[in-house]
Structure 1
């Protein structure tokens, strides 16, 4: 088991945002976390990446308890997030942004090989290599955010709403690339409002409602679950 959350609770001031969340991600999987706005999906991601301290419970990564570990040290261990809203550096070029993704690494040959891999996955970024990140379209910025996260060579890639704000054709393209990244050996935990795309690509999934996990199963099981279909897929 690569990642295990056990009974995680998290507070924003006096408001309890997560109520005893437990989930697992095995090596090689795509696991989807779906739910409505405000369900606690991004909060769960922030807890895993160390951007928000948890009130109780434990987070284990590759057998090690990382519950209190600093966020940057989690990156060093191979846990990296492409955040919601992309979070690229707008004044830096595409190549400089990608280079920032490798800031914890010293293996120049490995970094060069990964840069080649990222530019092969995202040919649009290769075409715009010297452009400032802020001049890219929304879809290109999303590609850059994912590419930058890949430059840390993560064992677990956390993707927070990768399809948000994208045109339908680009959504399909982003999910094709997510599948390809997984097939190349990277484990993925995916938070996504587009439940149809997420569950059709995921090995397993969890449904989050108001800070509680209310359902779990394989991607196919959840896709065909009547309650999931009605709430998240627009099918009664």
Structure 2
């Protein structure tokens, strides 16, 4: 198991955002967390990244306990996140944003680093075309590509994607999800939080449903897609 989360509880002041959450992510898979707004999905990813303190529970990455590891060290250990809202550096170019993703790497002048950069440009050809363009002048979809590419430049064992399709046109949503599948097929494990439950479950090997800070259902993406309660709540009655 690449990621093991057990008994995770997180508070925002006196409000319990996550309560006794346990789940795992197998190496080489795509795992989806779905649920309504306010269910605790983004809090889960922020906690895994080290941006929220843990009240109780444990987080293991590749067998190592990272529950109290600072956020920047988690990146070096193989955890990298593409955040909700993209979070690009608007005044920096596409290439500079990508280089920020590889900031902690010690091989930035190596052929391997260049190869990783080429991989990002192959996944997102638009970024190669706009390598010298300021990220803040790009469309929402292009900025999402920058955010995902930046996260990949850290060479993560586990890529965390927070709402990759948010605010995108339907055609672009399909493209982003296809790229998520391709990233996984190239060997990167993915944990994805996504409001577009239909697309997320279609791509996921395993999925979990969060409601008010607790996991209430789990199963394969296919099984949850067929679950009547999940269909009614998140898939508009169909997928």
TM-score normalised by length of structure 1: 0.99
Cross-structure match for 2:17: 17
RMSD: 0.6
Cross-structure match for 1:105: 105
Cross-structure match for 2:216: 214
Following superposition, the deviation at residue 219 of structure 1 comes to 0.3
Matches within 5 A, 1:50-61: 50-61=50-61
Is 1:173 aligned to residue 172 of structure 2? Answer: no
How many Å separate the matches in 1 of 2:42 and 2:112? 31
What's the secondary structure of 1:8's corresponding residue? strand
Unaligned segments of structure 1, at least 5 residues? none
Cross-structure match for 2:93: 93
Cross-structure match for 1:182: 184
Following superposition, the deviation at residue 109 of structure 1 comes to 1.9
Following superposition, the deviation at residue 82 of structure 1 comes to 0.3
Cross-structure match for 1:73: 73
Q: How many residues align?
A: 236
Matches within 5 A, 1:27-42: 27-42=27-42
Q: For residues 102-153 of structure 1, what are the alpha-carbon distances to aligned partners after superposition, in whole Å with 9 as ceiling and x for unaligned?
A: 0011212221110001001000111111000000000000000000000000
Is 1:230 aligned to residue 232 of structure 2? Answer: yes
How many Å separate the matches in 1 of 2:162 and 2:198? 16
Structure 1 segments, 4+ long, off by >4 Å, are none
What's the secondary structure of 1:28's corresponding residue? coil
What's the secondary structure of 2:22's corresponding residue? strand
Cross-structure match for 1:4: 4
